[in-house]
Structure 1
Amino acid sequence: MSAEIISHFVERLTWDEVARRIAAGRPAILPIGAAAKQHGFHLPLNTDRLQAEWFAAHLAERIDALVWPTVTYGHYPAFVEYAGSASLSAATFKAMVNEIAAGILDSGISTLFVLNTGVSTLAPVERALAGFEPAKVRHLRLYQGPRFRRTAEQISEQRHGSHADELETSLMLALAPELVDPERAEASPALQHEVPGRLTPSDRNSPNYSRSGSYGDPTLATSAKGAALLAAILDDLNEQVTAALGENDRPQPRGTPR
């Protein structure tokens, strides 16, 4: 990351600089992205964290926000059979997010964006934020926006997928290609359920068997597809933060990320 982008991350600042920027009315971003969650043979376990921090950094540049340290542990029960993957109970994760958000708001932040890269984390985060004023806290569901959904539908060639698949691998090829090993990408069998439950790398008789841990076909991924998806997500985020911050703090549009 450039020095300009790094300057938005509170972990790289002194407390008095953070205090000055809070006093100036800057909003905050709390990224949520796993650092210990399997992503097939071809992507690292911190794939979600990398995506969360990439989008947080670009969003922070647009709206001059402060980025709090990423929540890297969460509720990810579908992946615990794969080595290195960690999952908290939904109740523990909810309590953690609630207390972190409360602490950020107690510091004087007027608007907090919780940027969530997960699927199984969506419901616990909603419950964690339910007690806060909606005008102060917004839950940004990274892969739920209309532009992302439309773009994904247009470019996707796989017949099924939702994890370490064509789309997620394409995103990683666009934002961190050096961390992707396309030669190890392996398509998963079509599972019996449209949305898989707990995946397994060992039980071949299970309807949720996936040797690699992927669900979908990452061999179809390209950096061009990833660039289109990144642009769609950034546009979705731009629209959401514009609505939250109002016209005076409207983020300025940027070109397609490279």
Structure 2
Amino acid sequence: MKGAWLADLTWPEAKQRFDDGAVVVVPIGAASKEHGHHLPLATDWILAQGIVDRVLAELPVVAAPIHGHGYYPAFRHYPGSQHLNPTTFASVLQEVLEGFAAQGVSRLVLLNTGVSTTPVLTVLVREFYERHRLRVLCANITELGRDTDQMMSQKFGGHGDEHETSILLALAPDKVRMDKAAPDYGHLESLPKSAFYVPSCFDGDEESGWDFSCYGVRGDPSLASAEKGEVMLKAIVRDVVEGIRTHFPDAV
């Protein structure tokens, strides 16, 4: 039996899979968040869908609908970007998880394609475990497929960069405007090096210091290619599949 999107099943089919102990993956990918002048607002959504489609081809898991709204504070001022405060984001996902638990699902995985969402999800799954004694696993995009980092030529990245653009070229090349892809490191190269966490946002005002971003990007998307993206995507999917098999060997 192959994996399936929950939305494609009937409710009796969903019940059967839940009763059989299926792993349920809840993907999180912004449906509308700025990614520079060259990538669509739906970049994270496309990434989440692309990863899950490939996981479903390998494992008999059930994928919940993509959660398209999250905590994205650095981008909230860009037209079209949609953002929830961390409390609302956590509350909505908590209800989603509790709904699955009430329907008998005991194997739950969050697939998180965001960065600012990570600390919120870490607290959420820890507190969820405290209340329900149900471990919800969380796969964060920043930890997946990292053995392909050496393929990057950019000085550094982090958003709408060579890495993310390459993956979109592999998944949805018709949605990428490579003629508008340009290097954008802002003023981050002048950021003092230390062990401190430094909060930031993206700001088009060059006087805004380390927050400045000319296009809403961190990195050099002009170096991206579909070939790189395919290698990166395979590595990400491999890590997700191996992680699910490691934690739920009797379910897959």
After TM superposition, the score normalised by the length of structure 1 is 0.87
Q: Is structure 2 residue 72 aligned with structure 1 residue 76? A: yes
**C-alpha distance after superposition, 1:72-93 (max 9, x if no partner):** 1100000112110111111111
Which consecutive segments of 4 or more residues in structure 1 shift more than 6 A?
none
Residue in structure 2 matched with residue 89 of structure 1 by the alignment? 85
- The sequence identity of aligned pairs, in percent, is 34
1:198 counterpart letter in structure 2:
C
Between 43-52 and 99-108, the greater mean CA deviation after superposition: 99-108
Conservation of the 8 A alpha-carbon contact between 2:154 and 2:223: yes
Q: Is structure 2 residue 212 aligned with structure 1 residue 209? A: yes
Once the two structures are TM-superposed, the CA of residue 11 in structure 1 deviates from its matched residue by 1.7
Distance 1:189 1:28 in 2: 38
Distance 1:229 1:209 in 2: 28
Distance 1:21 1:87 in 2: 33
Once the two structures are TM-superposed, the CA of residue 136 in structure 1 deviates from its matched residue by 4.0
1:114 counterpart letter in structure 2:
L
After TM superposition, the score normalised by the length of structure 2 is 0.89
Distance 1:108 1:83 in 2: 40
Change (3 A) 1:115 1:176: same
Residue in structure 2 matched with residue 40 of structure 1 by the alignment? 36
Residue in structure 2 matched with residue 98 of structure 1 by the alignment? 94
Between 53-62 and 131-140, the greater mean CA deviation after superposition: 131-140
Once the two structures are TM-superposed, the CA of residue 13 in structure 1 deviates from its matched residue by 2.2
Change (3 A) 1:135 1:245: farther
Distance 2:251 2:185 in 1: 47
Instruction: Report the 3-state secondary structure (helix = DSSP H, G, I; strand = E; otherwise coil) of the residue aligned with 2:44.
Output: helix
Conservation of the 8 A alpha-carbon contact between 1:29 and 1:60: no
Residue in structure 2 matched with residue 221 of structure 1 by the alignment? 224
Instruction: Report the 3-state secondary structure (helix = DSSP H, G, I; strand = E; otherwise coil) of the residue aligned with 1:139.
Output: strand
How many pairs does the alignment contain? 241
Structure 2 counterparts to residues 87-126 of structure 1, below 5 A: 87-126=83-122
Distance 1:29 1:111 in 2: 9
2:183 counterpart letter in structure 1:
A
Distance 1:60 1:135 in 2: 23
